[in-house]
Structure 1
Amino acid sequence: MKFLLVLALMFVSVLFGMQQANDGIDRMKGFEDNNFKEALHVTESEGGQVELAVLGNDISSHDIQEKKAKLEEMKAYNFFSTLGKKLAEGVSSLSNKMIELITDLIQ
């Protein structure tokens, strides 16, 4: 969980740094150039929907849902998920055997 938190923080920091660099370039030139894209651009449409663009590429919840469905369809193999499940099973089995051993010693 800590790893994912640090990874997310680093990702946001990189995006923030790219945005700051873009703003610095604009200030240095003294004018805005439309060829430079913002790192993260959030706008709200008239219908109240939030639109997000990362590095000039529009992202919508529909795109994310399509990718999720595609991954589920492919039944992608996740090494870490499998490793975590096996580790959990092993720890559970070990703790059950330890409890059985302790109860047998007490009786």
Structure 2
Amino acid sequence: MVKFMLKCFVLCSVLLFGVLIGMQQANQGMLKMKGYNDPELQGAFQVESEQTGDVEASILGNKVTSQDLQQKQEQLEQIEAFNFFSQVGKQFASIVSNGISTLVESFAEWINRFLR
């Protein structure tokens, strides 16, 4: 299960970066087709380093900073999301576990009575 999730995560990451690279290539193609540099036409993914050593990144025109990421992480930690499928899975697992343990106990009692 862990291998499957890891493979899915890697595949989705590769596809996401492929889409971003494709958007950047399309932007460069549009610039070449226009023949001049339009300041309103921005790239899909831009990374700029400042003289102070800080690095700014923007994805699709939205600035991404580490502070934004920390705020989002804190917000996600505060939200206690209810996952319906997780709860159903837990209940199903407990029902199956109780059923199997009951069957094993009854089978063991039957064998004990048979051997006496």
5+ long unaligned stretches in structure 2: 1-5, 102-116
1:25 is aligned to 2:1: no
5+ long unaligned stretches in structure 1: 98-107
TM-score of the aligned structures, taking structure 2 as reference length: 0.66
**Identical-pair percentage:** 39
Superposition RMSD in Å = 2.2
Shift in Å, 1:76: 2.6
Cα separation, 1, equivalents of 2:9 and 2:59:
20
- Write out per-residue CA displacement over residues 27-61 of structure 1, whole angstroms, 9 at most, x where no aligned residue: 01111111211100001112211110001110001
1:8 is aligned to 2:41: no
Instruction: Pick closer, same or farther for the CA change 1:12–1:79 going to 2, 3 Å.
Output: farther
Where do 1:85-100 residues align within 5 Å?
Answer: none
Cα separation, 2, equivalents of 1:32 and 1:66:
36
Shift in Å, 1:79: 6.3
Shift in Å, 1:77: 3.7
Cross-structure match for 1:69: 74
Letter in 1 for 2:26: A
Instruction: Pick closer, same or farther for the CA change 1:63–1:79 going to 2, 3 Å.
Output: farther
Equivalenced residue count is 88
Q: Which residue among 46, 49, 64 is the counterpart of 1:44?
A: 49
